[in-house]
């Protein structure tokens, strides 16, 4: 691979990762705002009301109960803050991102199954998202398909992505195209395995070791 083509691949990978990262940040910010604006304000209002009741209450037993309620709400408020902060970590919702990609794919029917329990690392998630996008793009260009199946599985030591359709591949050359080289480069960097077959429709097999 020439240095120029290798640099083009790397630039494309960085651009795709940046787009996914921005989309993830926007969604986390939206959720954080909703939690803060609705639940947070309601808890703050409740705490103020309890404080006002405690200031005027003369019954000692009632004061003790109000104090307990105030402490419970304060704990809930702290948990809300922690949850909002946790939204700003570096995790990415792989299933949500793939579901969005599939929902936006109108070329043909897509059957999607994800049985992963332990989420992959961020770079692995980016790789899976990019490969699914590229595979769907190739299906549009080269496969006369009416149905695509996407399987994402977890094994004890690796993650596996399988994509296949029921079409017939035409005008396809695996040696051409930056997108396909991008696939291979991503998998190679993550010390995984990539196999593309076109005998019975377009088929992509990816395995990435757990890290």
Residues 62-114 have pLDDT tens digits of: 888 888 888 888 787 777 766 666 665 445 788 988 999 999 999 999 999 99
What CA–CA distances, in Å, run from 14 to 11, 21, 149, 167, 189?
5, 10, 27, 31, 13
Residues 83 and 100 placed together within one structural domain of the fold: no
CATH code for the domain in which residue 31 is found: 1.20.58
Domain boundary among 88, 103, 136: 88
Threshold 0.85, pTM exceeds: no
Residues 78 and 123 placed together within one structural domain of the fold: no
Domain boundary among 40, 65, 88: 88
Parent domain of 114: 94-209
Buried b vs exposed e over 25-62: b needs ≥16 C-beta within 10 Å?
Answer: eebbeeebeeeeeeebeebeeebeebeeeeeeeeeeee
Residues 81 and 125 placed together within one structural domain of the fold: no
Residues 113 and 81 placed together within one structural domain of the fold: no
How does pLDDT run across 125-147, given as a tens digit for each residue? 989 998 999 899 888 888 889 99
| Beta carbons within 10 angstroms of residue 143's beta carbon | 25
How does pLDDT run across 150-207, given as a tens digit for each residue? 999 999 999 999 999 999 887 766 655 566 788 888 899 999 999 999 888 899 999 9
Domain count along the chain: 2
């Amino acid at each position: 691979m020439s240095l120029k083509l290798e640099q083009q691949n790397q630039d494309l990978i960085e651009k795709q990762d940046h787009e996914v990262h921005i989309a993830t940040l926007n969604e986390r910010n939206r959720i954080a705002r909703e939690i803060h604006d609705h639940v947070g304000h309601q808890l703050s209002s409740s705490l103020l009301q309890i404080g006002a009741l405690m200031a005027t209450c003369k019954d000692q037993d009632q004061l003790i109960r109000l104090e307990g309620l105030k402490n419970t709400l304060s704990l809930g408020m702290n948990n809300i803050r922690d949850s909002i902060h946790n939204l700003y970590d570096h995790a990415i919702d792989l299933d949500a991102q793939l579901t969005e990609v599939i929902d936006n794919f109108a070329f043909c029917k897509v059957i999607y199954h994800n049985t992963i329990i332990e989420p992959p690392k961020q770079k692995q998630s980016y790789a899976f998202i990019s490969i699914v996008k590229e595979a769907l793009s190739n299906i549009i260009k080269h496969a006369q398909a009416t149905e695509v199946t996407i399987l994402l599985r977890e094994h004890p030591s690796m993650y596996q992505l399988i994509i296949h359709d029921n079409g017939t591949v035409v005008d396809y050359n695996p040696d051409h195209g930056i997108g396909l080289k991008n696939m291979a480069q991503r998998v190679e960097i993550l010390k995984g395995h990539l196999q593309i077959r076109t005998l019975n429709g377009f088929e992509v097999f990816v395995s990435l070791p757990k890290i």
